[in-house]
Amino acid sequence: MMGWVRVSVVAALASMTMSCAASLGWQWAEPQFVKAPDAKKYDGHDAVYLLREHRLLMYQEWGKDSYTERQRHDVVAILTEKGFRYANFRIIYPNKNSDLIAFAARTINEDGTATPLEPEWVFDDEVKGDENGAKVRVFTFPNVKVGSILEVQYTLRDDYVDWYEAPFVTTNIPIEKYNLELMGTKSVRYSVNAYNIEEGSEWKTSVDGDYWRLQWQMNDVPASKGGERVEPRDFREPWWMFTALAYQSSANLYEIHKDWDSTVRYRAKGLYDEDGEYYEGFDAEVDDKDCTNKKCQVQAALDFLRAELYFNWFRSGMGRKAKEVMDSKKADNWEKNRVLWELLRRKKIESLFVLTNRKNYVSFDKEQPHYARLKHLLLWVPKQTGIEEGFFVDASCEFCTVGQVPDWARGEEGFVVSVEKEGLSTENTYKGEWKKIVGAETRPDVAHKDYAVTVDAAGKLTAKMKQTRTGWGAQWWRSARRNQKADAAKREAEGMVNRRDERGKLISDSRYSFVPDGSEGERTIEFEIPDYGVLDQERLIIPLSALDTPFDGAFEKKTRDKPIFFGHTATWSERLAVRGPKGYAPTILFPSKSIDAGAVKVDVKVRTEGDVVVIERSVHHREGTYLVSKYEDIRNAIELYRSVDQGAIVFAKPVSEPLAPSAAR
């Protein structure tokens, strides 16, 4: 059973010695790795890696050319014809200066003979003109059949040292044997960890002449597989991370990713725009003439960003230049906060960049510093004249007001980076401090639908549905549909009507509208469904299946082997008011009920208001990862929620029995 196991190796200080430049050799796989696999074991898969080897050699010596060699060695057994896709191979070089210094491929036939790859079936090509350039080698294995074993090994060499690698071990198909070997000159000091691996798995360390060597392996790695409400992949599938802490060059020790200060140094230089390029041509101005204090000015800047830059999702890069961001009228989380920083700076409001992660979305190891592991950005506005107490602000939250922090950041730790000048130095130095991100709660994420339904004596249903969203949901709606054309909006409304009942006809739809602070949006659609009610002798049965629900088909499987993951807290609710035909009255209802399963809380309330039946249901899920043992409770709660749209209400003429919860359900 895999667990979140972290196996770590940090290099001891090695003595500096001169070394000879080495290169990774290669050889075909040992015979035990080119034998037909047990097909039963891999039923359901199109291919299996019998062997997957990843080798990395880092050479760094004072006065000599540095380089990195990356070697991949794959042995793949083809189990089905759909697995033939593994026979078409592309080697993408990391950049245009990469050299392919070793390459071999062959098909091992079922009878054990090997068919070599002929050179005429190997095609080399390149991308020209691009700043980074790229090269590619394309080939296909010969004589491939179900039962063939394909073997390829290649080594790429780059004229720099690779300071960071963090790949997943898992692939789309299972791996029988995974071997990792990392080597480097003793001048390179490193840290390496593996995550989500078998307990007891260990790194083997050794010294080979002037090189250190790390070896690690896994057996029987299952295929990467997603699923309903599962955690992000780096919380549950094996991966490893290598970082160079420092390297010794002559008498100097150069820190690279030794600690958080050193690793974020270059990113901080960019964020604080040391070279003055990021904000070139940026001329946006915030109208805050009515503000009498700095907090108001910060709020005005947030309002400006909400109006001018639609949010287009979370990313982890440094973003486009500010002018380009403004021209495009959309921005990601980094871009929004970088623009905010400059807007505040121009108002003489100091703010500091905070590197962090969104809650539940990134597996983060504070003990192994690397800036790339901090994927979200926000700002800390420290105490200063006009601001009595510092606060965090995240411009990617469009429904936040000053002082509020969105769920995705609240409670996380952030690395607050400040700029300092040391002594008489003209160069900036960047230092960071971990701080817990705090702030007031925002308006919650609630999606609500309010249905006003009438059913006539012929069973025709007419409904008016008002849909509202608040909090994060409203922000997402606004971003996703900001440019929605009338046609597309109508098609979406039709889709909503027909998703649960194909007979439905859209009568009208309104466009989305939003309150000025972005925290709430709404729209209304009207529809009808002919012959919807079922006439059964003197009764009219109104199924509730036309209710559109976000939990259609959710948690249907009776058992589960992965923890249940809710990325954020949200509420989905509906209120349904059903009026029957004149002269009819509701006769059979189903009972009100609530279940609080921890991760999920469900309420179903049923009552009558005169001749109108009112049903309210809601499901509230709380962010977090929940053990498999909680699955049944969660499933039962969701089942209760869904029981409404799987049920019906019954009207009768004349009123024939007292209104009471039915024992029939």
Partner 1 sequence: MLNESDVPRFLLAFCCLALLTHCRTAPFSDLDRSNLPKPDDHPEVDAVELVRERIVEYAFDSGAPIAMTTEHRTLVVLTEDGQNLGDFATTYSEFTDLISADVRITTPDGKHKDYDVSKMTDFPLIQGYVLYDDARAVSLDVPAVPVGTVVETRVVKREKKPSYFVDRFSFGGHYPLRRASFRVFEPEGWKLDHRASKAWGPYEMEPRVEAGSGGRWLVWEQSDIARTKHEDYAPSVWDLVPMVAVRIASWVDDDGAPQAEFDSIATYGQFLHRLQEGTAKPTPAIRAKVEEILKDAPKDPRVRAQKLYDWVQENVRYVAVEVGMGGWRPYEAAETFKTRHGDCKDKATLLKAMLEVDGIESYLASLYSHGGTPRKYLMPGLGQSNHAILAVNLGDELVIADPTTRTVPFGELPHNDQEAELLLVKATGGELYPTAQSTEQDNVKRLSFDLTAEASGATKGVVKLETTGQFASSLRYNLVATSEESGQDEVRGWAWLYDGDVKNAKFDEAYRDGRLVVTAQGDVTMDEVGRDVADVRLISFAEIMVTPGPKLPPMERKFPVVFRRREHRDTTIRLKVPSSWEVSTLPEDQVVESPFGRYTQSWRLEGDTLVAHGDYRLKERRIEAARYGELEAFFGEIIAARSRPVVVRLK
Q: List contacts with partner 1 (CB under 8 A).
A: 42-46, 79-82, 84, 87-88, 118, 121, 123, 125-130, 134, 136, 138, 140, 142-145, 310, 320, 324, 327-330, 482-483, 485-487, 491, 494, 498, 501-503, 505-506, 530-531, 534-537, 541, 543, 545, 556, 588, 590, 646-650, 662, 664-665
Contact 390, 435 (CB under 8 A): no
Q: CB of residue 369 vs partner 1: minimum separation in angstroms?
A: 33
Cβ distance to partner 1 smaller for residue 233 or 320: 320
Q: CB of residue 141 vs partner 1: minimum separation in angstroms?
A: 8
Type of residue numbered 369: P
Residues 6+ apart with CB under 8 A from 253: 246, 247
311 vs 333: CA distance, rounded Å: 7
Cβ distance to partner 1 smaller for residue 218 or 493: 493
459 vs 457: CA distance, rounded Å: 5
Cβ distance to partner 1 smaller for residue 154 or 242: 154
Residues 6+ apart with CB under 8 A from 244: 58, 161, 163, 164, 188, 189, 190, 256, 257
Q: Name the pairing type of β-strands 330-331 and 310-311.
A: parallel
Q: CB of residue 530 vs partner 1: minimum separation in angstroms?
A: 7
Q: Read off the tokens for 257.
A: 């990713």
Q: CB of residue 143 vs partner 1: minimum separation in angstroms?
A: 5
Cβ distance to partner 1 smaller for residue 206 or 483: 483
Q: CB of residue 322 vs partner 1: minimum separation in angstroms?
A: 12
Evaluate the CA torsion angle 545, 546, 552, 553 in order and state its sign: positive
Q: CB of residue 379 vs partner 1: minimum separation in angstroms?
A: 24
Contact 329, 308 (CB under 8 A): yes
Q: CB of residue 599 vs partner 1: minimum separation in angstroms?
A: 23
472 vs 470: CA distance, rounded Å: 7
Contact 478, 512 (CB under 8 A): yes
Cβ distance to partner 1 smaller for residue 209 or 661: 661
Q: Read off the tokens for 612.
A: 């109108």
Q: CB of residue 431 vs partner 1: minimum separation in angstroms?
A: 34
Cβ distance to partner 1 smaller for residue 173 or 344: 173
Q: Read off the tokens for 152.
A: 């390829």
372: left (phi over 0), alpha (psi -120 to 50) or beta: alpha
Q: CB of residue 115 vs partner 1: minimum separation in angstroms?
A: 9
343 vs 282: CA distance, rounded Å: 10
Cβ distance to partner 1 smaller for residue 80 or 569: 80
Cβ distance to partner 1 smaller for residue 277 or 556: 556
Cβ distance to partner 1 smaller for residue 233 or 482: 482
628 vs 16: CA distance, rounded Å: 51
The angle at the Cα of 196, spanning 35 to 255, to the nearest 5 degrees, equals 110
Evaluate the CA torsion angle 136, 141, 145, 149 in order and state its sign: negative
Distances (CA, A) of 338 to 261, 318, 322, 377, 445: 20, 9, 8, 8, 26
Cβ distance to partner 1 smaller for residue 129 or 610: 129
Q: CB of residue 510 vs partner 1: minimum separation in angstroms?
A: 16
Nearest Cα to 378, choosing from 391, 390, 392?
A: 392
Cβ distance to partner 1 smaller for residue 310 or 392: 310
Q: CB of residue 42 vs partner 1: minimum separation in angstroms?
A: 8
Helix (H) or strand (E) holding 286: none
